[in-house]
């Protein structure tokens, strides 16, 4: 059984259970657990280098490298539920902007972090790579926020 930092059971989380891949982002459930270091500002980074969604026009797959950075407040997102949420986009038809900003808005709305940013580094569609960035506002002054480390698309050149 999964427990919070104060050892109370975390009922209802997907951790430690067989959980099927959700059919859509709307169906996916994100789990949040208490921040183990409340009152301390620190950065959490999730990287999904093989993110996949579907083009809303053609239905063909689109691929991206997604980087999510956030400074937690009262809760943190549980990583298995985030993984299932991100993988649920494999069946989702959406433009790059919709997918990237939609992920960030859902996390910001539900988790209520002190700060959140997302970088969606999309591979070329029609010969043009599209990168999408969004954040909730300025990062707390006392938090080290490293570069996301994803170079711009260069192709073979």
Catalytic residue set? 55, 62
- Exposed / middle / buried, residue 109 (Cβ in 10 Å: 0-12, 13-18, 19+): exposed
Distances (CA, A) of 122 to 3, 8, 29, 129: 37, 40, 25, 6
Please give the biggest Cα pair distance in the chain: 54
């Amino acid at each position: 059984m999964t427990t919070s930092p104060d050892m109370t059971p975390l009922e209802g989380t997907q951790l430690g259970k067989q959980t099927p891949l959700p059919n859509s982002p709307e169906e996916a459930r994100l789990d949040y657990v208490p921040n183990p270091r409340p009152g301390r500002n620190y950065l959490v980074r999730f990287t999904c280098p093989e993110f996949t969604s579907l083009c809303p026009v053609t239905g063909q797959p689109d691929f991206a490298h997604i980087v999510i950075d956030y400074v937690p407040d009262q809760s943190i997102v549980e990583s298995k539920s985030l993984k299932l949420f991100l993988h649920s986009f494999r069946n989702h038809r959406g433009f790059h902007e919709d997918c990237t900003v939609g992920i960030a808005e859902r996390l910001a709305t539900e988790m209520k972090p002190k700060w959140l940013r997302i970088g969606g580094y999309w591979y070329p569609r029609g010969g043009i790579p599209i990168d999408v960035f969004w954040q909730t506002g300025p990062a707390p002054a006392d938090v080290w926020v490293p570069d996301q480390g994803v170079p711009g698309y260069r192709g073979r050149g």
